[in-house]
Structures are given as structure tokens and as C-alpha cells.
Amino acid sequence: MDGHAAPGKMAPGPYLSPMNSLSIARILLVEDDPAMRTLILRVLKENGFEATGVRDGRDMADALGQGSYDLVLLDVMLPGQSGLDICRELRRTSQVPIIMVSAHGEEIDMVLGLEMGADDYVPKPFRAKELLARIRALLRRAANNGNGAGSIGSTPQDVMVFAGWRLDRRRRELTDPEGVAVDLSGAEHDLLVSFLENRQRVIGRERLLELSRARLGEVNDRSVDVLVSRLRRKLGDENRLIRTVRGVGYIFTADVAVL
């Protein structure tokens, strides 16, 4: 098919549909268990979402090559390529919101999912109401951060500059001092904004938990530390911009200009 990647190959993103406040959100579910896939798809459709289900990473790549989606629900345990590897690959090319779903509810599984670039993590078994609430919250955050079609342009207060870096909040675009774009997951973007808005002030872990909970659901000190570590790596930062205040939390040390 013209303009699409070869079957099973992931084409460049962003795979985001032009969602606005009046449109129906499109969700791509990647789940290999037929019964579970059917159940989740039914719940999504009965609650007003347009949902498509596929069984593995290859089928997901084909679906993304043929259309755009507002959110991906991705199971961890999949045949062939694991959900974690798929998440990492997808995050390299797209900022589409990703919720990982797994039968393993251990903290290490959640941490790995966040490390791979997921925005949220839901352990099985889960209540339908909880899953729907997570999906709606993440879609709202994505729309507010500029993933939707409402992101026409940036107003001056949307641009924040620090240490040569530039963050366009509405477009959710981060560029380094050389002007090179740096990809951020939704959770990483929100964390960076929290630091910029509270620069040169110590932010305790509990406060960071409050700022992150809407996106990450049930989080803890460890998951916040993982996010901070990921953000530091993206910034090429060795405790220079984000300093650890032992036993308390973190402080963002750079001056921030709002353009």
C-alpha cells in the first residue's frame, strides 16, 4: 500500500490521530489473549471509544501504518517481541500515549514499563472503571499538552528556556542547546514542567508524587526516582541541573526564562 511501511515494520510516527474535543478517541489494543482482547474491546466500545484490537507487535505495526490512534493499550506478555520491547521501539518514533497492561503487578514490572517509555501501567486483573478512568485521564493530559489537533501554535508563555534548552509546552517539544529535538514521554514532560515551574526550590518526593499521580496512577518513591533518572539522561545531566537533596527530594538549579 502506497505511503505505508512494509507489513510488520514500524514506519516513522507520530501515529497520533487529529483528536479534538468533539471527536471520538481511537484506541489500539495489543493483546494476544482472544478472550481478554474481546472483553476489553467491548468495554471500550460500550464507553464511547473507537477501538481496534491486534494480537502482537507485527500486527500493531501494520495497524499503525494504516491509521492513526490517540492511545495504545499494550500487554507486556506477547508472542514474539515482548510488550516492553515494543513500547521502547514505539517511543523512539512517537509520543502517542501508552498504557502497559500486565498480569505481573510487581514493582519491578512497573518500573521497567516506565523505563521503556510507558505513560501508565495497569496490573491485571483490573476493574473496567479503573481502566477507563486511566485512559480518560491520559487522553486529557495528552490533549492539554498539545497532542491533539487543538495544538495550532504556541503562545509566548508556553515556551520555557533553561541552560540553553528550550521546552515548548503546548507542542511538547524539547530541543537541546544545539537545536536538536529530544523525545520525551508524557511522564517525563510533566516531570520537567514541574521542575521548571518550581525551579530553585526543593521539591519533596511526596510533592512529585502528587504532580505525577494523574499520569502514572499508583506510583511510589521508586517510580519517581526512575523518572528523574530518565529525565537526567535525556538532559545529559550529571546532577548539574537536577540535584538530589538527600532524604528530601530534588531541586532544579538552573534559571528559567518564560518567552
Do both 140 and 167 map to the same domain?
no
CATH number of the domain encompassing residue 100:
3.40.50.2300
Q: Which of 95, 123, 144 is the last residue of a domain?
A: 144
Q: Are 42 and 132 in contact (CB under 8 A)?
A: no
For 239, other C-beta atoms within 10 Å of its C-beta total 10
Whether 13 is in a domain gets the answer: no
Do both 212 and 254 map to the same domain?
yes
pTM: 0.57
Whether 194 is in a domain gets the answer: yes
Whether 20 is in a domain gets the answer: no
Whole-number pLDDT of residue 171: 81
CATH number of the domain encompassing residue 235:
1.10.10.10
Do both 245 and 202 map to the same domain?
yes
> Dihedral (C-alpha) 226, 54, 35, 100: value to the nearest 10 degrees?
10
Do both 126 and 161 map to the same domain?
no
C-alpha grid cell, residue 207? 510533592
In a 13 Å sphere around the CA of 226, the CA atoms on its Cβ side amount to: 22
Nearest to 25 by CA among 185, 129, 138, 171: 138
Taking the C-alpha atoms of residue 29 and residue 227, their distance in angstroms, rounded to an integer, is 25
DSSP letter assigned to residue 51? E
Total structural domains in the chain?
Answer: 2
Q: Which residues of the chain have pLDDT under 70?
A: 1-23, 105-107, 144-157, 210-221, 238-239
In terms of residue numbers, what domain contains 105? 26-144
Q: Which of 144, 168, 203 is the last residue of a domain?
A: 144
Whole-number pLDDT of residue 178: 92
Kind and range of the H or E run holding 120: strand 120-123
Kind and range of the H or E run holding 208: helix 205-216
Taking the C-alpha atoms of residue 124 and residue 174, their distance in angstroms, rounded to an integer, is 34
Do both 137 and 183 map to the same domain?
no
Question: Helices 128-144 and 186-197 sit at what angle, rounded to 10 degrees?
Answer: 60
Whether 8 is in a domain gets the answer: no
For the four alpha carbons of 72, 108, 116 and 82, in that order, the dihedral sign comes to negative
Do both 37 and 121 map to the same domain?
yes
Do both 63 and 135 map to the same domain?
yes
Q: Could you report the per-residue pLDDT of 25-63, keeping only the tens digit for each? A: 999 999 999 999 999 999 999 999 999 999 999 999 999
Question: Helices 83-93 and 107-115 sit at what angle, rounded to 10 degrees?
Answer: 30
Q: Which of 119, 144, 169 is the last residue of a domain?
A: 144
Whole-number pLDDT of residue 185: 84
